[in-house]
Amino acid sequence: MVTAAQGSILYLDGVSVSFDGFRAINSLSLVLKPGEMRAIIGPNGAGKTTMMDIVTGKTRPDAGDVLFDGTHDLTRLDEAEIARLGVGRKFQKPTVFETLSVEDNLLLALKGARGVLDVLLARLSGAERRRIDELLGLIRLGDRRAEMAADLSHGQKQWLEIGMLLAQDPKVLLVDEPVAGMTDVETMQTAELLREVAGAHSVVVVEHDMAFVRELGVKVSVLHEGSVLAEGSIDHVSADQKVIDVYLGR
Ligand code: ADP
Ligand code: MG
């Protein structure tokens, strides 16, 4: 076992992957503690999405350790197994059920992959009802619960999808560019929402919006050419000349 991985929820060390000879991830190391939220920034093509593909089992690394909870070797598990362990991922495009209500979207997510009609017709237990109310409050859609998801704003759909992921109670939540296309107000509300989610869940959030990253107020890892160029507070990495040269100054 890798002793350095003890006490971590996600542990990447020396991870590399090449596509047709191009090294998209190059000896990447990243450690996330339980309940920690980490922001990942870096130029286009830095390998941010590929890093998430590796964690979720979509892409197999050529080398390196990828461990969940210090013990599970994610390089040996498939996507479904990794999801079952408690790794949830939010993609850039929301994938809510447009013709169902906000509440029914959450209900389906809470019940997992079963027959849609069975789930919607079944009576809710008190605990399920409370969980849905709690999620609606967290994603700021309590007063929109009966509306069709299709009628939500782009930002609200993103929140609904975050709520659907949380309904499955993941230990780690991976979020790729959540505030792209959101209004400034929605962007700040999303930062607040994710701060409320962290603690009970570990969160890895990739984002280009620096005002948003600053609002998160968490440790930032800067990726460049497939490895970590700098790490620390937003002020620390923003003052780093290497970071300015490859990302912020451009
Ligand atoms: P980022 O999310 O930081 O913008 P990506 O992880 O999407 O960067 O991409 C990193 C590099 O790897 C890019 O050069 C991209 O073209 C390449 N890449 C990513 N996935 C694949 C793939 N499945 N096949 C070939 N090249 C890929
Ligand atoms: Mg990307």
Q: Are residues 181 and 108 in the same domain?
A: no
Quote the CA–CA distance of 47 and 22 in Å, as a whole number.
11
Average pLDDT, the chain: 93
| 27 falls within a domain | yes
Quote the CA–CA distance of 165 and 178 in Å, as a whole number.
13
| 210 falls within a domain | yes
Among the listed residues 242, 204, 210, 207, the one whose alpha carbon sits nearest the alpha carbon of residue 225: 242
Q: Are residues 113 and 55 in the same domain?
A: no
Q: pLDDT tens-digit profile of 68-80?
A: 999 999 999 999 9
Q: Are residues 178 and 82 in the same domain?
A: yes
Residues 6+ apart with CB under 8 A from 236: 220, 230
| Ligand 1 atom 27 nearest Cα | 19
Looking at residue 16, which CATH number applies to its domain? 3.40.50.300
| 50 falls within a domain | yes
| 194 falls within a domain | no
| 195 falls within a domain | no
Specify the length of the chain in residues: 250
φ, ψ dihedrals at 71, nearest 5°: -130, -35
Q: Which ligand is nearest to the CA of 46?
A: 1
Q: Are residues 177 and 248 in the same domain?
A: yes
pLDDT of residue 3: 83
What total number of domains does the chain contain?
2
Residue 120 structural domain: 95-169
| 59 falls within a domain | yes
**Which pTM does this prediction carry?**
0.94
* Residue 48 CB less than 6 A away from ligand 1: yes
pLDDT of residue 104: 92
pLDDT in tens, the chain (250 residues): 578 899 999 999 999 999 999 999 999 999 999 999 999 999 999 999 999 999 999 999 999 999 999 999 999 999 999 999 999 998 767 779 999 999 999 998 888 756 666 767 777 788 889 999 999 999 999 999 999 999 999 999 999 999 999 999 999 999 999 999 999 999 999 999 999 999 999 999 999 999 999 999 999 999 999 999 999 999 999 999 999 999 988 6
Q: Are residues 57 and 176 in the same domain?
A: yes
Q: Are residues 99 and 127 in the same domain?
A: yes
| 193 falls within a domain | no
Considering only the C-alpha atoms of the chain, give the largest distance between any 2 of them, rounded to a whole number of Å: 58
pLDDT of residue 114: 63
pLDDT of residue 74: 98
* Residue 92 CB less than 6 A away from ligand 1: no
Distance from residue 19's CA to the centre of ligand 1 (Å): 8
| 161 falls within a domain | yes
Q: Are residues 224 and 240 in the same domain?
A: yes
